[in-house]
Structure 1
């Protein structure tokens, strides 16, 4: 023990700089791994933790009737609470807003009660108070205590908005004070709306009802947030009872449980990706920091050989050599743990950050305790193993078949020697492990290719609305609630006659009931050429009694070929599912929450339509804005019934998702560069005698450089050969997983751009890594090396 203590003191005095660097490396590595792991765990649970604290709405009921009696729903046995809201339009500090306005005292109290991040909730009796989300504070620069101006419409102007959406507010301007910053599932920011949310007090509607609901009270879309006693398990019984007590099967019931599951699928993907980043950082740390630990321990073991002659046992020698790295690990891990706690204020990442009920610093003992205890133990085990191997390294030389083949084929000597350095470990004190370089190169190339493939798919989805089923660029409002506002036949004929219009669909829509879900049903009724509706499996309906359903509708457990029962306002029908696909975005539905039927089947199900729209597909090389202006002139469309297609962009969400594979690829690339670079420098140092002998036999300095370049190029070529197909497969699997999870139409992303970029970059990186070791090999003092030998 005295000898070990003596050695540790001596080692600390002599190598304190290298141990300090090692401590910082371990702190950086351990901190990064613990930060990523804690962020992944925090993000995975964010939605669930938020729901546990906020009395979330289970469903949202949209009766499309301003006179609807909400007490009927309140008295239903499944219902715990109901909060009425009105979707209307007003301006906030000069910017249009169409956020819901609460009616009555239940909103944000008995239903969707938000977490208060700062301040308090708005008083429902005061018309001049509001709460906001964090996104609103960030974008507007206004928070608790600040005021905003709400510009309202005169009642008659509000009534005319549907005909001319460009009308500006001409009613009262109300000064509203922000009294709180809140967060719940529905009151949360997202990448889809970067401006944030402002929710006025219910007192605003009480004071300015005509300016928010219109002169008739029928302008705003009224909805009710309903919290069921048994949550999602009661939706089926609630939907069936709703039809019974109201006598209507066309009332929209939007399941927030489905929306939550969708959100959790996104946060789950992000958490899994963050977990993969943690694993990649850990692997890179094991290789890079492990090499530093091995170098320090091996050097110390060689110097301890003197004490071995004085009676120190091999075990004591190994522990003496490992104590320096162990001390560095103990201190470094604690520093890394502290850094991860500080970094937790920027986590969770992505969509989960908008759902986190307790943003800010978080101490996750599930990660910190195992990390602070486990990393020093891992370092100690690695250091002792490295010392033990250094004491016993003799080994036998394993020859590579590829190197032997290159020699028999007559390849130049520098190529053969460089390949041998890259593929054969050597033996004794000259041994250099080559597997980390080969495996690191494969991991780096596959990670970069996978990230490029995934990013390419994301770019395609951002640029191509068809990936979300939106194949049309324009749409025309023809009527609603069973009455056309224009002559539909004349309008459709004018639209179809335009030379840049390639397809028009006469889309009628209404809501039907299937089991516990409501489905917005569209007619597939082409005017001339049919639109190319996106079908993910099966085929479109071609006759009566057939239906194509969107992904959420298919979640009820149906498959292609099954028969489902659909209840409309006219009849209950049995329809055969011919496929799954996407539908147009509408006021009542998203692209993944509807169905297609033929015109004849629609007429059998419904007495009248709820909305009547023409979906217009423009020629690919035409300018939709120019076509829109031309159609409006041709139709005499002073009321602007023809508009750009409704599109709910997912660009922000996709861009958030794209960063995670890039992070993963960055760490895998670091792993590859570190592994190959370490192998090159170590090989030149440990095999300098072999190079010196070859130089003495006539090898030139440039040929010595060529040896190192070849040694670097072999792992790069192995990485390309094995990593490119692995990366293509991994990138496509990741995109398939994300597409299936979030209902994006999967199209295999192209691989050739990644190939054109990765292959030359891999070889360039290998040559750059070889530059310094190659210079050392070319400029070594041959006589000095041979005399030392």
Structure 2
């Protein structure tokens, strides 16, 4: 008793080991069994002298492993939501029509298609657009120009807004970085006119656009968009307003007849209308397709592979701590068996030690992982060029928690058996 009092007064490791953790004190006051108290204490308390074990390292490894896996769950769920939600990667329209043939035939077919679609009760939004190359600050960029005939123009900006005037442009995230521009800055745009010559003007960047793969600008994050009037020559103004003037406007911008983008009413009725239009215009009808780069990224699942790598590190740290604990606390285990501990209680103590390490990792790691996953998804979306909508799936985190505890106890099986087989006489004689 005198030795214990002197140790407490003197402080140091001995004093800390004689002062149990608050968690163990609370469990003792709640009437927890001895195996629980000893297992929780071994997980949270380092010990001193020859009985010291890397408890903090095991707890840190558990937190890091759960954080990485939770972040991977959030990132993977967000990626799955993105690939199943076309509007997030810029696919706001349901189909587009590309008239073919010679210039005159294409213009006539364009006019006829616009008239047909405008009288279709199942078509909610109609826009016209065209694409081609322009020079922006000395760099060739695939550009779009368009105008809405009914409803809003079917493209979205992740930052800022679409261009509204003839002196405005919106750029993809990748193009914005390549040009060294930002929302609000000015860029020089040179357009080759189909009639010959070129025209250079200053445009103000109004936003960061989300370009779908089917837009033909080179993929997510790449491209530029203007208002249709922003790239026009005045030659079409002499034509009467209507579909013929629209076809002319597109030809004067990019030398092509352009395309018609449509959105249908939702549900089976809209799908049936698209099927009917595809049968009526098989060569002109085009349907959207998902971004191959994102699908390939999801199939490889880099975030999950990274999370598993960190989880293996955490598992190795836990196993190391358990093995060291069995070896360095042989004397304590021997004393417990002399006091009446049976093999089952010794194994349960080891199980409680492992479960405690896992629970600490879950309590701290899951919130950190959710925050890290959301932040990583926002950064990834801003870099690639799509609308960031992080998704947290409760069942995935619940499965992660259950799996973490189960795997931790499975890893503890070997050390638990070794601790249960310790003979008191041999352990105490060795000390």
TM bucket (normalised to shorter chain) is 0.7 to 0.9
Does 1:562 pair with 2:208? no
* CA distance, structure 1, for counterparts of residue 430 and residue 100 of structure 2: 94
State the TM-score, normalized to the length of structure 2: 0.76
SS for the counterpart of 1:421 is helix
Match of 2:261 among 590, 612, 615: 615
1:450 counterpart residue number: 71
Quote how far apart the aligned CAs of 1:613 are: 0.4
Change (3 A) 1:481 1:534: farther
Does 1:649 pair with 2:295? no
Does 1:631 pair with 2:277? yes
* CA distance, structure 1, for counterparts of residue 101 and residue 172 of structure 2: 23
* CA distance, structure 2, for counterparts of residue 515 and residue 539 of structure 1: 21
Quote how far apart the aligned CAs of 1:449 are: 2.1
Kept in 2, the 8 Å contact 1:397–1:426? The answer is no
Correspondences of 1:427-466 after superposition (within 5 Å): 427-466=48-87
Match of 1:767 among 398, 406, 409: 409
* CA distance, structure 2, for counterparts of residue 608 and residue 593 of structure 1: 20
Kept in 2, the 8 Å contact 1:531–1:617? The answer is no
* CA distance, structure 2, for counterparts of residue 717 and residue 501 of structure 1: 55
Quote how far apart the aligned CAs of 1:550 are: 2.1
Change (3 A) 1:496 1:784: farther
1:416 counterpart residue number: 37
1:278 counterpart residue number: none
Match of 1:537 among 148, 155, 159: 159
2:326 counterpart residue number: 684
Change (3 A) 1:438 1:647: closer
Size of the alignment, in residue pairs? Answer: 392
Quote how far apart the aligned CAs of 1:443 are: 2.1
Kept in 1, the 8 Å contact 2:146–2:226? The answer is yes
State the TM-score, normalized to the length of structure 1: 0.44
Match of 2:203 among 575, 588, 600: 575
1:597 counterpart residue number: 226
Kept in 1, the 8 Å contact 2:123–2:265? The answer is yes
* CA distance, structure 1, for counterparts of residue 430 and residue 300 of structure 2: 56
Correspondences of 1:185-584 after superposition (within 5 Å): 396=14, 398-399=16-17, 401-403=21-23, 405-406=25-26, 409-412=29-32, 413-478=34-99, 483=104, 484-495=106-117, 501-554=123-176, 555-568=178-191, 569=193, 571-583=199-211
**Two-structure CA RMSD over aligned residues (Å):** 3.6
SS for the counterpart of 2:357 is helix
Change (3 A) 1:609 1:640: same
SS for the counterpart of 1:445 is helix
Quote how far apart the aligned CAs of 1:422 are: 0.8
Quote how far apart the aligned CAs of 1:754 are: 4.0
Higher relative contact order (CA 8 A, sep 6+): 2
Change (3 A) 1:679 1:652: same
* CA distance, structure 1, for counterparts of residue 87 and residue 140 of structure 2: 24
SS for the counterpart of 1:478 is coil
Kept in 2, the 8 Å contact 1:492–1:527? The answer is no
| More helix by percentage | 2
Match of 1:693 among 321, 331, 335: 335
| Per-residue deviation, residues 619-668 of structure 1 (Å, max 9, x unmatched) | 564498754321134xx42x521122366622564147524x43333332
SS for the counterpart of 2:129 is strand
Change (3 A) 1:495 1:705: farther
Kept in 1, the 8 Å contact 2:343–2:420? The answer is yes
* CA distance, structure 1, for counterparts of residue 423 and residue 38 of structure 2: 20
Change (3 A) 1:589 1:433: closer
2:308 counterpart residue number: 666
1:748 counterpart residue number: 390
Kept in 2, the 8 Å contact 1:498–1:631? The answer is no
Quote how far apart the aligned CAs of 1:465 are: 4.3
Kept in 2, the 8 Å contact 1:550–1:592? The answer is yes
* CA distance, structure 2, for counterparts of residue 729 and residue 602 of structure 1: 44
Change (3 A) 1:685 1:442: same
* CA distance, structure 1, for counterparts of residue 118 and residue 31 of structure 2: 69
Kept in 1, the 8 Å contact 2:170–2:224? The answer is yes
Kept in 1, the 8 Å contact 2:128–2:147? The answer is yes
Unaligned runs of 5+ in 1: 1-393
Kept in 2, the 8 Å contact 1:628–1:643? The answer is no
Kept in 2, the 8 Å contact 1:525–1:599? The answer is yes
Quote how far apart the aligned CAs of 1:581 are: 0.3
| Per-residue deviation, residues 699-758 of structure 1 (Å, max 9, x unmatched) | 555443332222111111121122223333443444445444444443324353542222
2:241 counterpart residue number: none
Kept in 2, the 8 Å contact 1:583–1:591? The answer is yes
SS for the counterpart of 1:526 is strand
Quote how far apart the aligned CAs of 1:767 are: 2.1
* CA distance, structure 2, for counterparts of residue 725 and residue 543 of structure 1: 45
* CA distance, structure 2, for counterparts of residue 648 and residue 404 of structure 1: 53
* CA distance, structure 1, for counterparts of residue 296 and residue 61 of structure 2: 31
| Per-residue deviation, residues 530-589 of structure 1 (Å, max 9, x unmatched) | 254231210122344332222344232332222334343385444332211034545565
Quote how far apart the aligned CAs of 1:597 are: 2.8
